[in-house]
Amino acid sequence: MTVPDPYLVLGITAAASDDDLDHAFRRLIRQLHPDTRPPAAPDPGTDQRLQDLLTAYATLRDPVQRAAYDRTRREQATRPHLAAPQPRVAAQPLVPDLQAGPVQWAPLSNLDDDQSVRR
């Protein structure tokens, strides 16, 4: 599932001000909200459009998220091959390089405190 462009969902340009953003959101929310839309025409796509609208508004209303989205949008426009990352597929099953078995501890009874262990 692809995430729609928030600017296209709201019907505004990237240069739109915060007031333009608010006006576009309010206009569309009146059309899509379940309390204000006509009950005679149930449309299954309306709920998805409403969710897209709420997500787009939340993204563009926050200045930090909007700047990050604009930066990503510019990067995708200049480097389209980075737009859709491909999933990695392992060629061989991963096998650990080091394997250890059970460890047993035994006290060293024949050493004095001054001697060191040499092997």
Q: Residue 28 — pLDDT band, cuts 50, 70, 90?
A: very high
CB 12 within 8 A of CB 20: yes
Measured in degrees and rounded to the nearest 5, phi and psi for residue 28 equal -75, -35
| DSSP helix/strand/coil, 11 | coil
Question: What would the pLDDT profile of 38-97 be if each residue is shown by its tens digit?
Answer: 776 667 788 889 899 999 999 999 999 999 999 998 888 787 665 555 566 656 666 667
pLDDT value, residue 102: 81
Q: At what angle do helices 44-61 and 63-78 cross, to 10 degrees?
A: 100
C-alpha to C-alpha distances, 101 to 41, 46, 107, 119, nearest whole angstrom: 68, 59, 20, 21
Residue 19 scores a pLDDT above 90: yes
